[in-house]
Structure 1
Amino acid sequence: MKKVMIVFMALTMLLPLAGCGGSSTASGSSAAGSSTAQPSSETSEAPVSKSSSDTGSEEQSSSSSQGTSDAEAEGETSQQTPSSSQPQDSATNILVAYFSATGNTEGIAAELQNLLQADLYQIIPQVPYTQEDLNYSEDECRANQEQNDPSARPAISESLENMDDYDVIFLGYPIWWGQAPKIISTFLESYDFSGKVIVPFCTSGSSGIGSSASNLHDLAPDAQWMDGQRFSGSASGDEIQQWVNGLELEYEGFPAGL
């Protein structure tokens, strides 16, 4: 009997210990399950903000792009602004009109304008001359075809609006095969030169002005034609001034004794 009581008491003492062990295990499992079910802040889908350095880079890029766009717009505006060969309004009654395909005659004309305080008018062809057009070694080039055609009259891009204001016209051109380019004929046939003084000048490598000027007289028969002068493309201002002084033009508005 005593042995049975001892066994019973031993079993009674072991039961609470087994309950505590089970409770601890269940609690641990529950905590683990709870941790797995709740998402952590590191894996949440929160938006990522840009750093200040990234934002600065984008602003610089945007600013650079805007600057390029503005520059292109200004370039387009500049290119759309047309240039004009019309003389500016002035009190002078002297005009320097010229045609220049390569720039030699243009230099002489600019010197004359400055010397005479004259207006300047460039005779610009409606269809510009290319290097191929001026390749004189080719019989079929445009310049040769025009010079060989008595009726050729190349169109001028812009007319002179105030020809009546001028009394003295210095007329410049390069020599093409001994003669004035046919666009000079176009110019002379476009206006009334009655009573005006025309002073021709030309540029060439070696040929003189020769008949290039006298052959133009019939195109403005009512004008007073002066003797012309040939210049090299590199003529100095002193050479040009000496020629002007020798003209002895006694005309109102003409600067004598330069």
Structure 2
Amino acid sequence: MKKSNVLLVLLMGLMFVFSLTACGSNEQGESSALPSESSSESSGTSSAAPENPVSSAVSENTENTGGTTLVVYFSASGHTETAANYIAAATGGDVFELEPVEPYTDEDLNYSDSNSRVVYEYENPDARDIELVAATVDNWDAYDTVFIGYPKIQYGFLSV
């Protein structure tokens, strides 16, 4: 009986080591897949997301491979913006932000407050037509591929 307990503990230890190895980060592999950040920028904070200044207009991308990819996104808290910038960097595409005329505040994004803007918009379909700073993309016909990103909450999880 003692030998089986020792064997069980050893097997569990090996499984633990393998799971840590499998879930561990491979910084060398990840850094080659992610775009490098410019060393001339000194923002004071380090972020894994590529720095891509985005306005309500399509950004100019000098590394674009023909300008056939567009990433259109809406992001109230910045998570979808991060994903959109990764996609744009990986595809060499242009970025277009859907920016509301009245930006969302932290109070607006409080899903636990029944009086917040997001809860009101969720419960009232007529309130979902939000006025945007810019709603059309210049040269729309020039794009072959369009990625669309928006936040979606389902089953209590935030998805992009």
TM exceeding 0.5: yes
Check if 1:206 corresponds to 2:157: yes
Pick aligned residue for 1:163 from 119, 140, 145: 140
Check if 1:105 corresponds to 2:80: yes
User: How far apart are the structure 2 equivalents of 1:136 and 1:88?
Assistant: 32
The two structures have a TM-score, normalised by structure 1, of 0.36
Check if 1:118 corresponds to 2:118: no
Q: 2:118 aligns to what? A: 143
User: How far apart are the structure 1 equivalents of 2:113 and 2:152?
Assistant: 17
User: Which stretches in structure 1 are left out of the alignment for 5+ residues?
Assistant: 1-82, 180-204, 208-229, 232-258
Q: 1:153 aligns to what? A: 129
User: How far apart are the structure 2 equivalents of 1:97 and 1:167?
Assistant: 13
Using the TM superposition, give the Cα deviation of residue 139 of structure 1 relative to its aligned residue in structure 2, in angstroms: 1.1
Q: 2:51 aligns to what? A: none
Using the TM superposition, give the Cα deviation of residue 167 of structure 1 relative to its aligned residue in structure 2, in angstroms: 2.4
Relative contact order, higher structure (CA 8 A, sep 6+): 2
If each structure's helix is expressed as a fraction of its own residues, which one has the higher value?
Answer: 1
After superposition, the C-alpha distances for 1:77-125 in whole angstroms (9 at most, x for unaligned) are xxxxxx8321145632111011111111111110100100001011101
Higher Cα Rg, which structure: 1
Equivalent AA in structure 2 for residue 157 of structure 1: V
The within-5 A match list for 1:190-229 is 206=157
User: How far apart are the structure 2 equivalents of 1:107 and 1:171?
Assistant: 13
Equivalent AA in structure 2 for residue 84 of structure 1: S
Q: 1:87 aligns to what? A: 58
Q: State the SS of the aligned residue for 2:75.
A: coil
User: Which stretches in structure 2 are left out of the alignment for 5+ residues?
Assistant: 1-53
User: How far apart are the structure 1 equivalents of 2:101 and 2:121?
Assistant: 15
Which 4+ stretches in 1 moved above 4 angstroms? none
